[in-house]
Amino acid sequence: MKKQWFLWLLTTLLLGFLWTGQGVLADDVDYSIPRYEGHLIIHEDNTASYVEQVTYNFDSSYNGQYLSLGTGGNMPQGFAIGRTPTVQVLRNGENITDSVRTEFEDLSKGVRLKIYNGGSSGDQVQVTVTWTLTNLLNVYQDVAELNWVPISNWDETLRDVRLTVTTDKSVSESQLWGHRGGMHPKASVTKDGNSYTLTAKDVSGLIELHAYWDRSVVSVAPTKAGQAKDKILATERGIDHRRELLMELLTLWIPLGAILLTVVAVWVFHRAKKRLLPFSEDKGYSFALPSDLSPLLVAKQVNGLELEELSPPDAIHGADIKLENYIQAELLDLIAQGKYVLSSDKKQLLQKPDKALTAYESAFLTYLFGEVRESYTLSSVFDDYQADRKTILASDLKGAAKKHEITARGAAILRRLQNRVTKVDRAVAQAFRTEGLPNYRKPLSVQDKYPLMLSNAFLVGSALCSVGAAAYSLSQGYLKGMVVNGFILIITALTFWYVISQQQILSHEGKINLAHQTEYRLWLGFRHMLQDIKTFDRAELESIIVWEKVLVYATLFGYAKRVQEALTVKGLTLPSEQLASVDAMDVITTAYFSHSLQRISTYSQAANQAVNFNLPSSGGGGGFSGGGGGGGGGAF
């Protein structure tokens, strides 16, 4: 449950990152703007003409277009927009200006011109609007300054933008910068005589024009006291400096901080895990058999695992013992005890009538084969839960009746499976009480969980840093910042998965019960011996007497093949009474039987799908240098 919560959190953060900065389409009109041209002509009397030429490609029907200019922000005193702009409209190359209707609107911080010329999908419309502007420049004693935002809040991305700024009078000293806001690089600006040309691609935010000309470019009196050239140049240097710092923050310091938080989280987790499992790094070997218990009892005693934690539908992932090995080891143990034997064709288990089964062994066989019988066909394991998606979802009924039938069918299978799993675990627990067996593991306390929670907190902090930086980079069009922080976020997500998976296993298996550390370490040494069995010489292996039980535990811990290979390579000949266990091990650990065991996951998934079956349903801000104004548009 805890892992699912963290995965949900990461998914939410990733989705938020991917969707940040995405615009919303205006109304239901489908169109694009492949080209935007703006030509600003500044006159000597501090008035200006601004000609906007916008090309629309429509993929749906439409009623018209609109363009707007703003008056808000840091605009010169007395700045005004003329109320009688001229309009020209071309549709598919044909001049339709005489048939259009315009509507001029006052906005809270600007004006909007709506142009009515309805058409259909496939049209290309070119709209040209000429605005008159008054008092556009701030006039100082040494220079005249332009600080204006002609583009800010268009409904669609402007694919290709070209802006020109021309003065009536040529002057010896001038400079113009084009800002796109945030982390966008400065727009490309070229100069030709007394004209500047700015070009940009895929503009979805603002473009700000910041420029100065020698005071003589206009003939009007100064509107601002003092001199401004040095201040303007300092402002531009400051913009570059802040951008460099922000780039460094997004691509170096925040990623380093996120990595540091992730590293600390992993360190805290492993330190806590080492304290809870203090002997996990022991490398000693033990050739003595620690006990003669059933694999079901050993799994609970040594690893703190019950069948409920290994079997679908609620199995934990990454447990120290696999369900396949758990089942194979118990079947092998029943043969080693002489309670069952393999048939001559090696396809059946045959019960010996003189050997009684324990309660947990009977419950275990019922879990596998459906009921306790004198013989079992190995290939029929889990047939009692057989369900494939096509069969279980098949129904001749309709509507709610169909849903009820399918849900009931899946619920019956899951209920049968869960009830039998519970009976096995209860029988094992009863055996522990009856035989007075100690648990080498015990549940985590609240204090034990604090470091694990701290580790999770560090990982959440790392993820939030990366998501925030990546989302901001995306919104500002800063690809490098988005990629770097997105990569760190992926690393954090993978670390999340690892840490939460390990924590889930810890919470199920528990910590080492130090009151029984001696017995636990014997099992740990025995397991290490099985793991490294190929490295021992023949004499050391011959010291092992009860091989049939060794084979059982090797199967439980997943070392069956290593033990089989060691017996072959070392040329060990086992006593005749133990050969049946070797023969059974060959059969029960085959790939064919392993494949049969894996069917329970498929059956469980199909039953879960049936339980959850549902019927299909029918159905403008300021620029970097403090400029004002603003300009937008769209279609309706």
Q: Please name every residue paired with 53 in a beta bridge, in sequence order, or none if there are none.
A: 37, 128
pLDDT on residue 399? 57
Strand segments, DSSP code E, in 472-525 are: 511-512
Q: Is 185 exposed, middle or buried (0-12, 13-18, 19+ CB in 10 A)?
A: exposed
pLDDT on residue 602? 63
d(CA 273, CA 280): 9
pTM for this model (two decimals)? 0.68
Residue found under tokens 């979805």: 204
pLDDT on residue 17? 46
pLDDT on residue 623? 40
Find out whether the peptide bond into 34 is cis, omega within 30 degrees of 0. Answer: no
Task: Supply the DSSP symbol for 440.
Answer: S
d(CA 384, CA 368): 8
Low-confidence residues of the chain: pLDDT under 50: 1-3, 5-7, 17-26, 397, 610, 613-623
Cα 13 → chain centroid:
7
pLDDT on residue 593? 62
Residue 604 to residues 402, 504, 599, Cα–Cα distance (Å): 20, 21, 9
pLDDT on residue 618? 39
Residues 6 or more apart in contact with residue 461 via CB below 8 angstroms: 261
Residue 19 has phi, psi (to 5 degrees) of -95, -10
pLDDT on residue 264? 96
Q: Please name every residue paired with 132 in a beta bridge, in sequence order, or none if there are none.
A: 49
CB 311 within 8 A of CB 368: no
In order of their start, the domains of the chain are: 23-227 (2.60.40), 293-443+547-611 (no CATH)
Supply angle C-alpha 175, 178, 183, rounded to 5: 135
Residue 21 to residues 32, 471, 478, 528, Cα–Cα distance (Å): 18, 8, 12, 55
Residue 181: which region, alpha, beta or left (left: phi > 0; alpha: psi -120 to 50)?
left
pLDDT on residue 6? 47
